[in-house]
Amino acid sequence: MRDDLKPGSSFPDLELPDHAGNPRRLSELTGGDPLVLIFYRGWWCPKEQSFFRGLVAFQDEVEVAYTRLVSVSVDPPEVAAAFRAGLAARWTFLSDAERRYLEELDLLETTDTLHHPYVPTAFTLYPDLTICSVWNGYWVWGRPSLEELRRDLRTITKAIRPDWEVPSA
Protein backbone atom coordinates (compact mmCIF):
# COMPACT_ATOMS: atom_id res chain seq x y z
CA MET A 1 0.00 0.00 0.00
CA ARG A 2 1.15 3.53 -0.74
CA ASP A 3 3.08 5.00 2.20
CA ASP A 4 0.95 8.12 2.48
CA LEU A 5 -2.36 6.25 2.83
CA LYS A 6 -2.35 6.61 6.59
CA PRO A 7 -4.44 8.39 9.23
CA GLY A 8 -4.41 12.16 8.77
CA SER A 9 -3.54 12.01 5.06
CA SER A 10 -5.94 12.81 2.27
CA PHE A 11 -7.36 9.92 0.25
CA PRO A 12 -7.25 10.39 -3.57
CA ASP A 13 -10.53 11.54 -5.11
CA LEU A 14 -11.15 8.46 -7.26
CA GLU A 15 -13.47 8.63 -10.24
CA LEU A 16 -14.98 5.29 -11.27
CA PRO A 17 -18.23 3.88 -12.68
CA ASP A 18 -20.75 2.60 -10.15
CA HIS A 19 -22.60 -0.72 -10.35
CA ALA A 20 -25.01 0.82 -12.87
CA GLY A 21 -22.25 2.32 -14.99
CA ASN A 22 -22.74 5.93 -13.83
CA PRO A 23 -19.46 7.84 -13.44
CA ARG A 24 -19.01 8.71 -9.75
CA ARG A 25 -16.40 10.69 -7.84
CA LEU A 26 -15.54 9.90 -4.23
CA SER A 27 -15.84 13.53 -3.11
CA GLU A 28 -19.37 13.61 -4.54
CA LEU A 29 -20.32 10.27 -2.99
CA THR A 30 -19.28 11.31 0.51
CA GLY A 31 -21.50 14.41 0.27
CA GLY A 32 -20.57 15.90 3.64
CA ASP A 33 -20.96 12.66 5.61
CA PRO A 34 -18.50 10.15 7.10
CA LEU A 35 -17.58 7.43 4.63
CA VAL A 36 -16.59 3.78 5.01
CA LEU A 37 -14.54 2.81 1.94
CA ILE A 38 -13.93 -0.89 1.33
CA PHE A 39 -11.60 -2.32 -1.30
CA TYR A 40 -12.40 -6.00 -1.88
CA ARG A 41 -11.09 -8.81 -4.05
CA GLY A 42 -14.28 -9.65 -5.93
CA TRP A 43 -17.58 -11.44 -5.67
CA TRP A 44 -15.94 -14.86 -5.95
CA CYS A 45 -13.94 -14.67 -2.70
CA PRO A 46 -15.63 -16.50 0.23
CA LYS A 47 -13.90 -14.16 2.68
CA GLU A 48 -15.43 -11.15 0.97
CA GLN A 49 -18.85 -12.81 0.89
CA SER A 50 -18.62 -13.37 4.63
CA PHE A 51 -17.33 -9.85 5.35
CA PHE A 52 -20.01 -8.27 3.16
CA ARG A 53 -22.79 -10.19 4.89
CA GLY A 54 -21.65 -8.41 8.04
CA LEU A 55 -21.71 -5.06 6.26
CA VAL A 56 -25.23 -5.79 4.99
CA ALA A 57 -26.34 -6.25 8.60
CA PHE A 58 -24.49 -3.01 9.48
CA GLN A 59 -26.25 -1.01 6.75
CA ASP A 60 -29.45 -0.91 8.81
CA GLU A 61 -27.61 1.28 11.32
CA VAL A 62 -25.73 3.27 8.71
CA GLU A 63 -28.89 4.15 6.79
CA VAL A 64 -30.22 6.25 9.66
CA ALA A 65 -26.88 7.71 10.78
CA TYR A 66 -26.05 10.14 7.94
CA THR A 67 -23.13 7.94 6.97
CA ARG A 68 -22.20 6.32 3.68
CA LEU A 69 -20.67 3.11 2.48
CA VAL A 70 -18.76 2.60 -0.77
CA SER A 71 -16.99 -0.53 -1.94
CA VAL A 72 -14.50 -0.90 -4.80
CA SER A 73 -13.33 -3.94 -6.75
CA VAL A 74 -12.11 -4.92 -10.19
CA ASP A 75 -15.44 -6.62 -10.92
CA PRO A 76 -17.15 -5.08 -13.98
CA PRO A 77 -20.28 -3.01 -13.17
CA GLU A 78 -22.73 -5.74 -14.16
CA VAL A 79 -20.94 -8.27 -11.95
CA ALA A 80 -20.81 -5.81 -9.05
CA ALA A 81 -24.54 -5.14 -9.58
CA ALA A 82 -25.32 -8.86 -9.39
CA PHE A 83 -23.18 -9.29 -6.24
CA ARG A 84 -24.88 -6.25 -4.68
CA ALA A 85 -28.34 -7.56 -5.53
CA GLY A 86 -27.52 -11.04 -4.24
CA LEU A 87 -26.38 -9.62 -0.92
CA ALA A 88 -29.32 -7.18 -0.69
CA ALA A 89 -26.78 -4.40 -0.26
CA ARG A 90 -28.02 -0.84 -0.70
CA TRP A 91 -24.79 1.12 -0.94
CA THR A 92 -22.70 2.13 -3.96
CA PHE A 93 -20.35 -0.42 -5.53
CA LEU A 94 -17.61 1.13 -7.68
CA SER A 95 -16.01 -0.80 -10.48
CA ASP A 96 -12.34 -0.51 -11.44
CA ALA A 97 -12.45 -3.20 -14.10
CA GLU A 98 -9.74 -1.33 -16.01
CA ARG A 99 -7.54 -1.40 -12.88
CA ARG A 100 -6.93 2.34 -13.15
CA TYR A 101 -6.11 2.86 -9.49
CA LEU A 102 -4.47 -0.43 -8.52
CA GLU A 103 -1.00 0.89 -9.26
CA GLU A 104 -1.60 4.45 -8.09
CA LEU A 105 -2.78 3.22 -4.69
CA ASP A 106 -0.30 0.36 -4.65
CA LEU A 107 -3.11 -2.00 -3.64
CA LEU A 108 -2.56 -4.83 -6.12
CA GLU A 109 -2.74 -8.24 -4.46
CA THR A 110 0.38 -9.66 -6.10
CA THR A 111 -0.21 -13.17 -4.76
CA ASP A 112 -3.34 -13.57 -6.88
CA THR A 113 -2.04 -13.86 -10.43
CA LEU A 114 -5.42 -14.97 -11.77
CA HIS A 115 -7.76 -12.10 -10.86
CA HIS A 116 -5.24 -9.28 -10.20
CA PRO A 117 -7.57 -7.87 -7.55
CA TYR A 118 -7.29 -5.20 -4.87
CA VAL A 119 -5.79 -6.24 -1.55
CA PRO A 120 -8.75 -6.19 0.84
CA THR A 121 -8.34 -2.82 2.58
CA ALA A 122 -10.77 -0.71 4.57
CA PHE A 123 -10.68 3.02 5.28
CA THR A 124 -12.82 5.31 7.35
CA LEU A 125 -12.81 8.81 5.88
CA TYR A 126 -13.88 12.27 6.97
CA PRO A 127 -16.13 14.09 4.47
CA ASP A 128 -13.08 15.90 3.00
CA LEU A 129 -11.52 12.45 2.39
CA THR A 130 -9.02 12.75 5.25
CA ILE A 131 -8.21 9.24 6.45
CA CYS A 132 -9.32 8.37 9.97
CA SER A 133 -8.24 4.69 10.05
CA VAL A 134 -6.87 2.02 7.72
CA TRP A 135 -7.21 -1.77 7.96
CA ASN A 136 -5.19 -4.26 5.95
CA GLY A 137 -7.57 -7.19 5.36
CA TYR A 138 -5.23 -9.57 3.57
CA TRP A 139 -5.85 -11.89 6.49
CA VAL A 140 -9.46 -11.98 7.61
CA TRP A 141 -8.60 -10.93 11.15
CA GLY A 142 -7.00 -7.79 9.79
CA ARG A 143 -10.37 -6.42 8.74
CA PRO A 144 -12.32 -3.97 10.88
CA SER A 145 -14.98 -5.39 13.14
CA LEU A 146 -18.32 -3.60 13.07
CA GLU A 147 -17.49 -2.32 16.56
CA GLU A 148 -14.29 -0.73 15.27
CA LEU A 149 -16.23 0.91 12.45
CA ARG A 150 -18.81 2.21 14.93
CA ARG A 151 -16.04 3.69 17.07
CA ASP A 152 -14.51 5.51 14.10
CA LEU A 153 -17.85 6.76 12.83
CA ARG A 154 -18.53 8.18 16.28
CA THR A 155 -15.15 9.94 16.26
CA ILE A 156 -15.73 11.42 12.80
CA THR A 157 -19.33 12.41 13.47
CA LYS A 158 -18.36 14.07 16.74
CA ALA A 159 -15.68 16.06 14.90
CA ILE A 160 -17.81 17.23 11.99
CA ARG A 161 -21.26 17.84 13.53
CA PRO A 162 -21.33 21.17 15.40
CA ASP A 163 -24.45 20.04 17.27
CA TRP A 164 -22.92 16.81 18.60
CA GLU A 165 -23.36 18.34 22.04
CA VAL A 166 -27.10 18.83 22.24
CA PRO A 167 -27.83 22.54 21.74
CA SER A 168 -29.17 24.15 24.91
CA ALA A 169 -32.52 25.87 24.85
Partner 1 sequence: MSWCWLARTDERPPGALAAATISSGGFLAAFASDGPAPPGERKIDARAVDPDGASALASLVLAPDGVTIAFDDPAVSGALRAALAAPWPGVLSTLVVETSRFAGALTAARDGDRARLRSDPFARIFPAEIVEVGPGLLGTTPPPTGPVIQRYGGGEPWPWDRFAG
Q: Which stretch binds partner 1 (CB under 8 A): 9-17, 23-31, 99-107, 115-123?
A: 23-31
130 half-sphere exposure, CB direction, 13 A CA radius: 10
If binding is defined by CB under 8 A, does position 129 make contact with partner 1?
no
If binding is defined by CB under 8 A, does position 62 make contact with partner 1?
yes
If binding is defined by CB under 8 A, does position 59 make contact with partner 1?
yes
Least distance to partner 1 from the beta carbon of 64, Å? 6
CB 67 within 8 A of CB 153: yes
CB 47 within 8 A of CB 109: no
Least distance to partner 1 from the beta carbon of 19, Å? 9
If binding is defined by CB under 8 A, does position 73 make contact with partner 1?
no
Helix axes 46-62, 77-87, angle to 10 degrees: 70
If binding is defined by CB under 8 A, does position 30 make contact with partner 1?
yes
Least distance to partner 1 from the beta carbon of 114, Å? 30
Least distance to partner 1 from the beta carbon of 18, Å? 7
Residue 86: alpha-carbon gap to chain centroid: 18
In the complex, the residues that contact partner 1 under the rule CB under 8 A are 18, 20, 22, 29-33, 59-60, 62-64, 66-70, 81, 85, 88-92
